[in-house]
Chains A and B, each alone.
Chain A
Amino acid sequence: MTPRALLLVFLCGALFGLGLARSTMVSPEVVLSFLTGSDFGLLLVLGGAVVVTLLAYQLAPKRL
């Protein structure tokens, strides 16, 4: 991979980490509150991420 592509990979990873931390899913207490049925936020995080990714997978130009 070219250094430029690796830089993009790094930035995407950073964006992922930023989102994961912002969503508070890095806190076991928050994840547990989903698993025990007192806060369903995890579904919003997963759902939001899936919808955006689904659009990209469907719409991004096909690569060779």
Chain B
Amino acid sequence: MLDRLFPRGIEHYLAGGLLIGAAVALLFAGTGLIGGMSTFFSATWSWVARAPGLRGEALVASRNWRLVYALGLVAGGALFVASDGAGTWTEVPAWRLLAGGFLAGFGARLGGGCTSGHGICGLASLQLPSLLAVVTFLATAMATARLVAASGATP
């Protein structure tokens, strides 16, 4: 049963999830901050952008720590790749990663949060809108992935 649902095993999933949870928990306990990731994109644009939507008070006020948080994310990922790196490789070509990243980034800001903001922080603070966001983006992604796979495309 477990083998069918999790053919790659479960340890690394649980360990990774608990580490992510510990990170968001520690951030809250130590600073009171809510550790969603993708607001970083808008907050960082606030340094140079002129559009009012990218210059909001909340973005400007949080852009320092959000940038530091995102730099930490990259550093932690690099540390893992340098030390172990198991399962972090991809065959997806760079242009597709870039295109997908653009769409994911746009959608995350449009929806007011990503898998960490709505998925972790929102669900953990029992926010109904976040639950709706998570169900919506997971269901849409599942439908899209199956549709694209059925059309014969491969990663």
Q: Would you call A24 and B12 a contact (CB within 8 A)?
A: yes
Asked if B52 CB lies within 8 Å of chain A CBs, one says no
Complex: chain B residue closest to A48, CB-CB? B17
A45 to chain B, nearest CB (A): 4
Q: Would you call B141 and A16 a contact (CB within 8 A)?
A: no
Q: Would you call B20 and A1 a contact (CB within 8 A)?
A: no
The interface size of chain B toward A, counting residues with CB under 8 Å, comes to: 73
B120 to chain A, nearest CB (A): 5
- Which of the residues A27, A42, A44, A51 comes within 8 Å of B87, measured between beta carbons? A27
The interface size of chain A toward B, counting residues with CB under 8 Å, comes to: 51
Q: Would you call B31 and A41 a contact (CB within 8 A)?
A: no
Cβ contacts A10-30/B at 8 Å (1 or 0 each): 111111111111111111111
A interface residue numbers (CB < 8 A to B): 1, 5-6, 8-30, 32, 35-42, 44-57, 60, 63
Which 4 A-B pairs give the minimum distances between C-beta atoms?
A13-B72, A23-B16, A48-B17, A52-B21
B interface residue numbers (CB < 8 A to A): 5-8, 10, 12-33, 35, 37, 64-65, 68-81, 84-92, 97, 100, 115-116, 119-121, 123-126, 138, 141-142, 144-146, 149, 155
